[in-house]
Amino acid sequence: MRNVIKVAIVFATITLLVSCASTPPPAAQAAPAAPAVAAVKAPDPNAAKDRAKAIVQGGVDAGTPAPAAATAQPAVATTTDQPAPPPGQLTPEEQAYLQTYLTRLNYMVYYNEEAKIDSKFAKAAVSQANRYLIEKLGLSVMDFDQIEKNKKDQQTAYESETGGSIDLIQYLAQKFNADVYVEINFSLTNETRDNKFYSSAQGSMKIFDTSTAALLGSVVLSSQTAFSPNSADAAATNAIASTVWAAMPKMIDQSKELLKNSFARGIRYEVILQKTPDSKQISQLRRALSKKIREVEQVSYSANSTKLFLYTFQKGDKIEDAMYDAGSAAGMNDINLVYSRGKSFTFDSGL
């Protein structure tokens, strides 16, 4: 019996030793991280199939797209009109254009017809102003006799084009392409002493914007007493000549500064479009113009005609070109220029 017990003890000891030898060492506890690494390297094919099935059926969230997919989306075009630039904030190109424009201003000088000035003295005043423009600035002018002639010759055209909506002198200034027209008004004080003739002139030069007829400013005329041994008319002519000549530099400087201030939005062009039955086309025209013109303002609309003010720092021929391009974009393929004078254009829509 003892031998059997000894054999059983030996057998149990051997079994225990074999069991200990087959148990892994404690370091093997780090093995749980291995399945995560294996999952990255070899994803479960069944999971991929399930995901594809979910995308096709649309019943399961397809997941968050990669950032690259967002950049591949095309940009959406916008048709919203761009707001007009703030007045006075000009680009370097606009500033350069305005500076050049102000150095090349054209003037037309006339007198105040309501002041009952003797025609020979009115002509003396206008002629002296024109002499300054020619000799000092090298400008071409419309002299007194030309204006008088055009007042008669252009009467029919004036009434046809404007219907009397503007003054005849403003109309002639626009036809002459003057940026400024100057109205001279004065009175004379004459005196005779010791068989000698003395005269002085007092008055003003009013400065008007030809496009708008707006009064920009004025310059005071005041002369010292002029003298002539020959006649009162000669003394008066001397007084007029001296006071007008002295006032011209002030008028030139003031007109430049005043116009510069009035051009904060741009140089204004007036556009009248005849035959405009469809207001939607006019809206399309404005939108197309706003792509090339700094600011577009609709002044009035009717089926017969539409008036626009265009503010820009461009020459007049660019306005005509812009109207043709905008007209085509608005379905007015036969738009054409009827007539123009200065910064005023009249078009026929061709509708």
In this predicted structure, what is the pLDDT of residue 88? 62
Distance of alpha carbon 260 from alpha carbon 80, whole angstroms: 31
Domain boundary assignment for the chain: 98-262, 267-348
- Report which residue type is found at 41: K
Task: Scan for tokens 């003295």, then name that residue.
Answer: 121
What are the pLDDT digits (tens) for 196-221?
999 999 999 999 999 999 999 999 99
Judge whether residue 106 has pLDDT over 60. Answer: yes
What residues have CB less than 8 Å from 241, skipping those under 6 apart?
124, 128
The residues with which 298 forms a beta bridge, in sequence order, are 308
Euclidean distance between CA atoms 295 and 152, whole angstroms = 37
* CATH class (in words) of the domain with range 267-348: alpha beta
Residues 146-165, mean pLDDT to the nearest whole number: 92
Q: SS3 of 214, please?
A: coil
The one-letter amino acid code at 243 reads: T
Tell me the mean pLDDT in the region 81-103: 81
Q: Are 130 and 249 in contact (CB under 8 A)?
A: no
Confidence (pLDDT) at 44: 53
Helices within 138-231 (DSSP H only): 144-153, 155-162, 168-175
CA atoms of 98 and 313, how far apart (whole Å): 7
Given a cut of 60, whether residue 25 has pLDDT beyond it is no
Q: Does domain 98-262 have CATH number 1.10.287?
A: no
Residue type, 113: E
φ/ψ bin of 331: left (φ > 0), alpha (ψ from -120 to 50), beta (otherwise):
left
